């Protein structure tokens, strides 16, 4: 009797079977990992296929006896885990469809329990009815026995082909200094010599090399003559680090070998790299540049191109056998990152994972020392976690493997680095947060502004009553009055907004917006809300809009990492786009209040340029000093900016007439500014008080024990 009841609890759909009694989900006989709450959601959906299961029903079923303070996050996370197990997508659902703000619906065909049991046993419907004649029951028992033997053999073969998926049994916090470890284009690299970890930190605006015991403790700086150092790799004999020294905001920088036991840092040829990695035998360096992967000898000589890509190459990594290289391509227009693979001889270049309907943001992979797993970070639905891909090292080369998620909140986890014993994976755990601050000229210090909200990109209406901003780090566009009242959300996930600008009459907001897998584009939206309108069609990137004083035109820039960024103008009536004369290699444009001038930055942010519409010529205002987020004064006679690369984070003002430079404020924040999608944001209030977003994030190194 129990067997009959058990059969009737199994529901089939596609290649899956869900046993509602034992709460087990299997795919073609193989059991899948699915947490209890995710299975409960699946059960409710399967019991009512094709019908709406509301979020309220899920709340009552999953958390019936308590007030769950973060139900929205809880149900979203549970549904995401269910979709991962099913290999499903929210954008193109095969099984679980989202009905926005209402709930979910199961959309795949479902086999009733009796039919599911019959199909597994290979019997017809009549043969499983209660009261079947004895010889039919005997045949059913024989069929079950044969089916059981077949399943047992299949499971044995699959186990031999695929050892159990890796699991994280314990999280151990290694550092506790809160210093930034994730900045710029890529997050920090963690390398170890078996007893100590080495990595880059940003305690201020300058990076340094830090070291800490693999068991945990207080990080200590490693003495080096180099400035703004990024750790890239450690040699096979654990005697030296491979590092690059940052020069301004340049993307490609010099490569050095830094001894750990003292001695001089050694420049490796004339190589300029985005990232690099030593081969297992230490004889060759693979390094990345814009649009390419390169090889060179260990001393930096005899450089040669291995592969050509369309984006920026980072995180190249050799396989333990040295025959394969995997790396990350940063797509300039969208900012998404993709994992690629190429043979060491330059052949067989291809993405590591096949194309899927939902473009994923995946990067920063590394092999475990035994070569059995490739671990990497993947950002899905706004959360970044560590995943592991089992390598196909067995006799069964044609068996397709699937990645397994190793972490699941509450932090975002970046840059996995396997330990030397294959039992630990070191990662950086991050909880991003910032505090909005304004410079008070009376007290000569920065004070909390707008109740210290975590926001950036502030822009104010001409009458000083309204402000638009982007919440940090989720990138949602908001508007409110300057006292924080009448707050209204103007964009919705999964779109990410940035760099908003209010029109001179206050009736429109221009901003840069990016949808998953798409380029940054200019959008227009009313302060009262509505659907944002994309201004220009096409696939090119568009950033940093700035209004003409009459509100009839906008200027905007291309992505900083475009091959040759330029500044463009768009007529809002005709939508005709033209390039600003002589603007090649410039970005971050700002129109002057009187409409006569446009300012812009050189690609390395070391020069502030001024365009005069009257003379149609460019003039240099600042040369050889880092300039970030320039902003016009109200009278149009000066420009404020921040040198976020200088110690103390000073703010300056330069006059248009005589180019006189004056320091007006210094931040001197212990942990510096919060890093956003366009660097360290700074701004200006209507009374010309500097604004910044102070970093209050949690960024620590953790060990994940396998």
Query: SS3 for 298-339, per residue?
Result: CCCCCCEEEEEEEEEEEEEEECCCCCEEEEEEECCCCCCEEE
Hey, which of 80-94, 411-425, 617-631 has the most confident mean pLDDT? 617-631
Q: Residue 237: pLDDT above 70?
A: yes
Over residues 382-397, the mean pLDDT reads 76
More confident residue, 304 or 679: 304
Q: For residue range 322-372, list pLDDT tens digits in order.
A: 999 999 998 876 677 899 999 999 999 999 987 655 567 899 999 999 999
For the chain, give the percent of residues with pLDDT over 90.
Answer: 55
More confident residue, 208 or 409: 208
**∠ at Cα 686 (678, 455), nearest 5°?**
35
629 band by pLDDT with thresholds 50, 70 and 90 = very high
Over residues 571-584, the mean pLDDT reads 95
d(CA 447, CA 462): 23
Q: In sequence order, what are the residues at sequence separation of 6 or more whose Cβ sits closer than 8 angstroms to the Cβ of residue 244?
A: 229, 230, 232, 253, 254, 255, 256, 273, 275, 276
Would you mind telling me the total number of residues written for the chain in this entry?
A: 706
Q: What does the mean pLDDT of the chain come to?
A: 85
d(CA 165, CA 681): 42
Q: Residue 150: pLDDT above 90?
A: no
Q: In sequence order, what are the residues at sequence separation of 6 or more whose Cβ sits closer than 8 angstroms to the Cβ of residue 54?
A: 102, 103
d(CA 545, CA 587): 11
115: three-class secondary structure by DSSP: helix
> So what's the pLDDT on residue 135?
31
> Using CA of residue 683, residue 620, residue 205, residue 416, what is the dihedral sign?
positive
* Tokens at 488, concatenated: 């209204």
Q: Which range, of 21-35, 515-529, 606-620, 670-684, averages the lowest pLDDT?
A: 21-35
* Residue corresponding to tokens 């998404």: 336
Cβ proximity of 704 and 168 under 8 Å? yes
d(CA 495, CA 252): 30
Q: How many beta carbons lie within 10 A of that of residue 373, not counting itself?
A: 26
> So what's the pLDDT on residue 636?
96
> So what's the pLDDT on residue 165?
66
For residue 418, CA distances in Å to 222, 280, 422, 663 come to 22, 15, 6, 46
Strand-pair category, 266-273 with 455-460: unpaired
Q: Residue 40: pLDDT above 60?
A: yes
* CB burial string 177-203: b at 16+ within 10 A, e below: eebbbbbeebbbbbbbbeebbbbbbbb
> So what's the pLDDT on residue 567?
96
Over residues 673-697, the mean pLDDT reads 93
CA 546: distance to chain centroid?
27
* CB burial string 376-388: b at 16+ within 10 A, e below: bbbbbeebbbbbb
Q: For residue range 161-206, list pLDDT tens digits in order.
A: 555 667 888 899 999 887 778 765 456 789 988 889 999 887 665 6
Task: State the pTM of this model.
Answer: 0.68
Q: Residue 139: pLDDT above 60?
A: no
DSSP 185: T
Q: Residue 160: pLDDT above 50?
A: no
Over residues 144-168, the mean pLDDT reads 54
Q: Residue 145: pLDDT above 80?
A: no
**Spatial strand order in the sheet of 455-460:** 455-460, 466-471, 477-481, 488-489
For residue 31, CA distances in Å to 28, 86, 463, 651 come to 9, 12, 63, 59
> So what's the pLDDT on residue 138?
43
d(CA 72, CA 60): 13
Q: In sequence order, what are the residues at sequence separation of 6 or more whose Cβ sits closer than 8 angstroms to the Cβ of residue 135?
A: none
> So what's the pLDDT on residue 186?
57
61 band by pLDDT with thresholds 50, 70 and 90 = confident
Q: Residue 500: pLDDT above 80?
A: yes
Q: Residue 619: pLDDT above 90?
A: yes
> So what's the pLDDT on residue 29?
74
644: three-class secondary structure by DSSP: coil
Q: Residue 317: pLDDT above 50?
A: yes
Dihedrals phi, psi of 400, to nearest 5 degrees: -80, 130
Q: Residue 16: pLDDT above 50?
A: yes
d(CA 661, CA 653): 6
DSSP 406: -
Q: For residue range 459-495, list pLDDT tens digits in order.
A: 999 999 999 999 999 999 999 999 999 999 999 988 9
More confident residue, 147 or 457: 457
* Tokens at 588, concatenated: 């971050």
Cβ proximity of 74 and 63 under 8 Å? yes
> So what's the pLDDT on residue 359?
61
More confident residue, 59 or 473: 473
> So what's the pLDDT on residue 536?
94
60: three-class secondary structure by DSSP: helix
Among residues 681, 678, 609, 607, which one has the least CA distance to residue 651?
Answer: 681
More confident residue, 393 or 583: 583
Domains and their CATH numbers in the chain: 2-121 (1.10.10.10), 434-693 (2.120.10.30)
Q: For residue range 592-608, list pLDDT tens digits in order.
A: 999 999 999 998 899 99
CA 365: distance to chain centroid?
14
> So what's the pLDDT on residue 148?
52
* Tokens at 25, concatenated: 């989900």
């Amino acid at each position: 009797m129990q067997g009959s009841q058990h059969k009737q609890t199994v529901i089939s759909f596609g290649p899956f079977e869900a046993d509602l009694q034992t709460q087990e989900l299997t795919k073609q006989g193989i059991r899948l990992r699915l947490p209890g709450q995710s299975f409960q959601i699946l059960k409710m959906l399967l019991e009512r296929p094709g019908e709406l299961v509301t979020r309220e029903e899920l709340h009552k079923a999953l958390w019936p006896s308590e007030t769950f303070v973060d139900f929205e996050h809880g149900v979203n996370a549970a549904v995401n885990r269910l979709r991962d197990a099913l290999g499903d997508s929210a954008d193109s659902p095969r099984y679980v469809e989202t009905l926005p703000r209402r709930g979910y619906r199961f959309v795949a065909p479902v086999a009733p329990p009796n039919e599911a049991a019959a199909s597994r046993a290979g019997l017809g419907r009549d043969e499983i009815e209660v009261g079947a004649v004895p010889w039919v029951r005997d045949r059913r028992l024989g069929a079950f026995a044969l089916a059981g033997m077949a399943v047992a053999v299949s499971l044995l073969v699959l186990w031999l082909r695929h050892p159990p998926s890796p699991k994280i049994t314990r999280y151990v916090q290694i550092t506790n200094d809160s210093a930034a470890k994730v900045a710029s284009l890529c997050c920090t690299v963690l390398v170890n010599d078996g007893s100590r970890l080495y990595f880059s930190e940003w305690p201020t605006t300058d990076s340094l090399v830090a070291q800490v015991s693999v068991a945990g403790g207080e990080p200590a700086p490693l003495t080096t003559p180099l400035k703004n150092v990024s750790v890239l790799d450690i040699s096979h004999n654990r005697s030296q680090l491979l590092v690059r020294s940052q020069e301004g905001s340049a993307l490609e920088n010099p490569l050095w070998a830094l001894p750990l036991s003292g001695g001089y840092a050694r420049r490796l040829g004339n190589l300029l790299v985005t990232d690099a990695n030593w081969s297992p035998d230490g004889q060759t360096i693979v390094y990345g540049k814009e649009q390419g992967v390169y090889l060179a000898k260990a001393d930096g000589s005899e450089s040669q191109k291995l592969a050509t890509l369309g984006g920026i190459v980072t995180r190249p990594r050799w396989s333990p056998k040295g025959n394969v290289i995997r790396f990350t391509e940063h797509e300039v227009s969208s900012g998404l990152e993709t994992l690629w693979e190429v043979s060491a001889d330059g052949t067989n270049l291809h993405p590591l994972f096949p194309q899927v309907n939902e473009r994923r943001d995946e990067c920063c992979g590394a092999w475990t020392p035994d070569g059995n797993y490739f671990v990497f970070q993947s950002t899905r639905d706004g959360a970044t976690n560590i995943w592991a891909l089992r390598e196909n090292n067995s006799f069964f080369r044609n068996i397709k493997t699937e990645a397994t998620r190793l972490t699941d909140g509450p932090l975002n986890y970046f840059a996995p680095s396997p330990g030397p014993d294959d039992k630990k994976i070191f990662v950086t755990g991050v909880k991003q947060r910032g505090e909005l601050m304004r410079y008070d000229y009376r007290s000569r210090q920065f004070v909390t502004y707008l109740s210290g909200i975590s926001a950036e990109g502030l822009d104010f209406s001409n009458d000083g009553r309204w402000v638009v901003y982007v919440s940090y780090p989720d990138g949602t566009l908001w508007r409110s009055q300057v006292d924080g009242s009448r707050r209204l959300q103007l964009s919705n996930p999964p779109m990410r907004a940035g760099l908003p600008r209010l029109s001179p009459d206050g009736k429109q907001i221009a901003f840069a917006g990016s949808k998953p897998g798409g380029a940054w584009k200019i959008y227009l939206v009313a302060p009262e809300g509505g659907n944002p309108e994309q201004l220009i069609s096409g696939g090119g990137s568009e950033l940093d809009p700035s209004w003409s004083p009459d509100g009839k035109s906008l200027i905007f820039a291309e992505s900083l990492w475009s091959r040759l960024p330029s500044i463009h103008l768009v007529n809002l009536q005709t939508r005709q786009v033209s390039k600003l004369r002589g603007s090649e290699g410039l970005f971050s444009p700002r129109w002057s209040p009187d409409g006569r001038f446009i300012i812009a930055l050189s690609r390395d942010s070391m020069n502030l340029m001024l365009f005069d519409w009257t003379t149609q010529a460019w003039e240099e205002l600042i040369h050889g000093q880092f300039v970030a987020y320039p902003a016009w004064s109200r009278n149009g006679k000066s420009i404020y900016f921040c040198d976020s690369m200088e110690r103390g984070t000073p703010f300056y003002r330069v006059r248009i007439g005589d180019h006189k430079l004056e320091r007006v404020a210094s931040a001197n924040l212990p942990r510096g500014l919060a890093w956003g999608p366009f660097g360290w944001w700074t701004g200006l209030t209507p009374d010309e008080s500097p604004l910044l977003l102070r970093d209050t994030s949690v960024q620590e190194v953790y060990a994940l024990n396998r």
